[in-house]
Amino acid sequence: MPFAPCLSVKDTAAAIGFYKKLGFDVDSSTARPGDDIHMLLYGGEFCAMLYSNADLKRWLPVLADTPIGFAGMFYLGVDGFDVVHDRMIQHAELVKDTVTDHNGQRMFYVRDLDGYVLGINDNAAFKDSELGGKYA
């Protein structure tokens, strides 16, 4: 499994609805009765988890005093970049519109309901770049 975040959220039902609007799928089948934890998938691949903040504090008490959110961002590589862009900006706060960096990577950034920032990267641009030749 790749490095995957587990996002602490205030309201998992709201977070699930939000992420579904962005094109994610949600699988809650691994949760035991009473667990409020859900797997996020994009393009059929696991990429993160959503966890009720209250449940997370019980599971890992060391996080009990940690506020929701953090300073950073999560990146997601997508196919059909322009279509994904148009869909996501209808449902999420656009915090930085499409830019192309010095490596030829195209990306934009949106914020979710709990303040997490998602950087959306163009898989095609990555594969065509020098970095893609090295890491794809």
The parts of the chain modelled with pLDDT lower than 50 are: none
Buried b (16+ CB within 10 A) or exposed e, 43-82: eeeebbbbbbbebbbeeeeeeeeeeeeeeeebebbbeebe
Q: List pLDDT tens digits, range 19-43.
A: 999 999 999 988 877 788 999 999 9
Q: In one letter, which amino acid is 109?
A: Y
CB atoms within 10 A of CB 134: 7
Say what the pLDDT of residue 2 is: 65
pTM of the model: 0.82
